[in-house]
Structure 1
Amino acid sequence: MKRMTRLAASAAFVAAIAAGALALPESMFSASANEPKPAAEAPKPPAITVIPAARKEVVQTAIVVGSLVPREEVLVGVDLDGYRLTDLSAEEGDHVKAGQVLARLSTDMLDVQLAQNASSLARNDAAIAQAKSQIAEATAVEAQANAAFDRGQSLKTKGIVAQDALDLRESTAKTAAARRDAAAQGLALAEADKALTEAQRRELQLRVAKTEIKAPTDGLVLSRSARIGAIVSGGGEPLFRLAEDGAIELEAQVPEAELAQIAVGQPVKVTVQGAPEGIQGSVRLVAPRIDNTSRLGRLRVALPADVKVNAGAFARGTVELARREVVAIPVSAVVTTAGEATTQVVVDGKIQTRPIKTGISGRGLVEVVDGVVAGEAVVLRAGTFVRDGDAVTPVEAQDETKGEAKHETQSEGAKG
């Protein structure tokens, strides 16, 4: 009962104070009332992200796009018309050697012609032998007639042989000489016929050799239009297309402004559609002609011999134009107006807008030739939040911020 009485009295005392019926002594509040209030702090200038200019390696690059093509495309066709294709020995994607048989044509007709030619050669040999025999016979008759004529002339001087008999012997000798000449001409004609037949045989043998369609060089079979049973024609589509030595390279179109900065031998990193890793190549050819309509020039990039890529695939190349260590700032810290470049530098807590002279650029960095020295704090994103003379609180960019700025710059350059 006593405890409940004390609790009731305490509650009544609190209620009386709240209602104002009971006043507390002022000494209870005098200490807190006399404490001084803190003065209001002056507002700080707005914070701005800065990054120090520093010596870094800047690599200037150019992006080129195009397709993979064979360095030299070799067309394999036929020189014969009307022959049927009977055999195929190569498929697309095969690596072939020079002289390797890729396909064969039917030789039935040529086999018959070769048999006929062999018969003609035998006849030619017989005709030559016969002509030689006639020459030998005519030569003997001529010698006999000449001897008889010589004896007649000796006897004529002695008055033993009459003139008419001598004339007959002379005529016989001349006739024998003429027959010998005719036999010699027959031999020459037979030999000429044999030479013609032999030439025809060589032509037939050449045609037989051409029925074996061979690779003219080492290479990779890119396409095959040959089909077994097809009748080939010398003026038709090539039966095979080869990449000489299997060499594949990037053929790209480049704007004329960038083409002037590219030279043979410069390194190029090639990214092929679908390939996870880049391929290191080099510029092999810079075409000397710019297309009048597109204002683009042609570029050829050689790839390593052992690289496995497909001709016709889309590819992208990054050509290294220049590489040197210089004072550099991020691309986002540069503002270009009417061809004049400026940047914003924080000096003693205030913004200074300075004209600068820039050099090469790449990987999100720009070379500063004049206007900013190493160590000065430049605004990371110039011309966005502050103006010349503004008071700011510089905050150095964190590594993540630098990386994001660099990534954004590279993305913008890739879109361009």
Structure 2
Amino acid sequence: MTSFLRFAASTALAIFLAGSGVAVLATPAAFGAEPAAAPPALPPSITVAPAARGVVVESETVVGSLVPREEVLVGVDLDGYRLTELDAEEGDTVKAGQVLARLSTDTLEVLLAQNASSLARNDAAIAQAKSQIAEAVATEVEAKASLERGASLQEKGFASASVLDQRRSLAGAASARRAAAEQGLAVAQADKTLTEALRRELELRLSKTEIKAPTDGIVLSRNARIGAIVSGAGEPLFRIAEDGAIELEAQVPETALSRIAIGQLVTIHSAGSDAVIEGKVRLVAPRIDAATRLGRVRIALPAGVKVNAGAFARGTIEVARHEGVTLPQSAIVTVAGKPTAQVVVDSKVQTRPLEIGISGGGVVEILSGVAEGDSVILRAGTFVRDGDEVTPVAAVQGAKG
């Protein structure tokens, strides 16, 4: 009776569980079997990349403005003349000697006409003086001959002393008139020389009414206005970039200035332009500003490059270029002030001290400590320590550490 009741209860429980959707699983213990062993845990995966040979370029970034290498100021040497014509605009390319503007010439033309009249008078005065000299010479010759005849007659007793004195006086006067005529010629010639000098001055002033470009270049600015009265003490009428040469004038911290040398390559980006310009360091100023602690560097741009003077620009100067074993910057960690890298050897982490060289572009030159081909943890010192067992996973090419 008891066995029957137990069987009935078991049957009812099985029916209830089946109806409620609860599955009853038989355990191994129910059948007398041993439990299965759990699979061994894998070491943590970590991204590695091989140390590879490459080129490391170290650079310094500088900022500044684009300026002409030599800015030529074009003004006037005349005062009080009116500007009547303009033949150049900003941005024009000009040649040396090309006329940029013209001034009024009315006053100078009148003065030149007066000077021409003065020259004619000088020529007439010189001719008159020469005639007077010729007349005086003839009179002097005649007076001296008369004196000689009088002296001869007096010796023979045919002429008195008073007659001889009179002839001597006439000879002296004739000599004096000749001398005066010669001096008059010298004065007339001096007057002509002065008039000719004045004419050359007027012609020079007339030539300066044509304002010419002193050099080849590009007109950067024009302050000239038609109708304006010019003055030599005023603002320059034109500003020209000599030969069109434009440079980047950049300010550099004194700590970086010593690493910059003439001839180094520079990559330049100008504000408002996507173009990349290749330049070279032309000048490293020997003086550092005491107030700002900045030095000055001039970087020459290629001839004919299209840029705007005065624009802001940024330059990247290549200060060193080495080829050798390289590592990403993220693979290096500093321990006790010394650089180290974590290398995976036989699935175990080894921390190695490094001797590094230059760095740039996110990579570092390795002089010793890691050989080419060693698997190096890309992000060192973050997840694992020396001696840990790991599962190395090769980094996807192009991925950043």
Normalising by structure 1, we get a TM-score of 0.87
Q: List per-residue Cα deviations over 1:228-286 (Å, max 9, x = no partner).
A: 11111111111000011111121112223332222222222222222223112222222
2: CA distance, partners of 1:97 / 1:309: 20
Between stretches 103-112 and 260-269, larger displacement belongs to 260-269
CA contact (8 A) 2:265 2:279 kept: yes
Aligned to 1:154: 152
Between stretches 144-153 and 45-54, larger displacement belongs to 45-54
AA matched with 2:119: L
* Partner SS, residue 318 of structure 1: strand
Aligned to 1:313: 311
Aligned to 1:365: 363
Aligned to 2:263: 265
Cα deviation, residue 295, structure 1: 2.3
Match of 1:256 among 254, 257, 261: 254
2: CA distance, partners of 1:337 / 1:256: 29
Cα deviation, residue 339, structure 1: 4.8
Between stretches 230-239 and 313-322, larger displacement belongs to 313-322
Alignment of 1:220-299 (within 5 A): 220-299=218-297
CA contact (8 A) 2:73 2:236 kept: yes
Aligned to 1:19: 16
Q: List per-residue Cα deviations over 1:266-311 (Å, max 9, x = no partner).
A: 2222222222231122222222222222222221222221211111
Identify if the C-alpha distance between structure 1 residues 30 and 95 changes in structure 2 by more than 3 Å, giving closer, same or farther: closer
2: CA distance, partners of 1:151 / 1:337: 130
Q: List per-residue Cα deviations over 1:110-168 (Å, max 9, x = no partner).
A: 11211211121111111111111111111111111000001011111101011111011
2: CA distance, partners of 1:248 / 1:337: 48
Cα deviation, residue 47, structure 1: 2.2
2: CA distance, partners of 1:20 / 1:390: 51
CA contact (8 A) 2:268 2:313 kept: yes
* Partner SS, residue 354 of structure 2: strand
Aligned to 1:175: 173
CA RMSD between the two structures: 2.2
Between stretches 241-250 and 292-301, larger displacement belongs to 292-301
Aligned to 2:117: 119
Between stretches 117-126 and 235-244, larger displacement belongs to 117-126
AA matched with 1:215: A
Q: List per-residue Cα deviations over 1:54-107 (Å, max 9, x = no partner).
A: 111222222222211111111100111111111100000000000000001111
Between stretches 81-90 and 63-72, larger displacement belongs to 63-72
1: CA distance, partners of 2:122 / 2:33: 142
> How many aligned residue pairs are there?
384
Q: List per-residue Cα deviations over 1:372-414 (Å, max 9, x = no partner).
A: 111222221222223333333222211142xx34xxxxxxxxx
2: CA distance, partners of 1:60 / 1:73: 33
Aligned to 1:41: 39
Between stretches 303-312 and 285-294, larger displacement belongs to 285-294
Aligned to 2:204: 206
Aligned to 1:51: 49
2: CA distance, partners of 1:249 / 1:72: 9
Cα deviation, residue 20, structure 1: 7.7
Cα deviation, residue 338, structure 1: 6.7
Aligned to 2:396: 398
Aligned to 1:341: 339
Between stretches 336-345 and 107-116, larger displacement belongs to 336-345
CA contact (8 A) 2:150 2:164 kept: yes
2: CA distance, partners of 1:134 / 1:173: 16
Identify if the C-alpha distance between structure 1 residues 20 and 282 changes in structure 2 by more than 3 Å, giving closer, same or farther: closer
AA matched with 2:309: A
Aligned to 2:7: none
Aligned to 2:89: 91
Between stretches 255-264 and 198-207, larger displacement belongs to 255-264
1:142 matches 2:140? yes
- Structure 2, unmatched stretches of 5+, are 1-10, 19-24
AA matched with 1:333: A
Normalising by structure 2, we get a TM-score of 0.90
Between stretches 327-336 and 238-247, larger displacement belongs to 327-336
AA matched with 1:177: S
2: CA distance, partners of 1:257 / 1:300: 17
1: CA distance, partners of 2:304 / 2:33: 86
- Structure 1, unmatched stretches of 5+, are 1-13, 22-27, 406-416
* Partner SS, residue 193 of structure 2: helix
CA contact (8 A) 2:244 2:304 kept: no
Aligned to 1:379: 377
Report % sequence identity.
66
AA matched with 1:159: G
Aligned to 1:106: 104
Cα deviation, residue 16, structure 1: 8.1
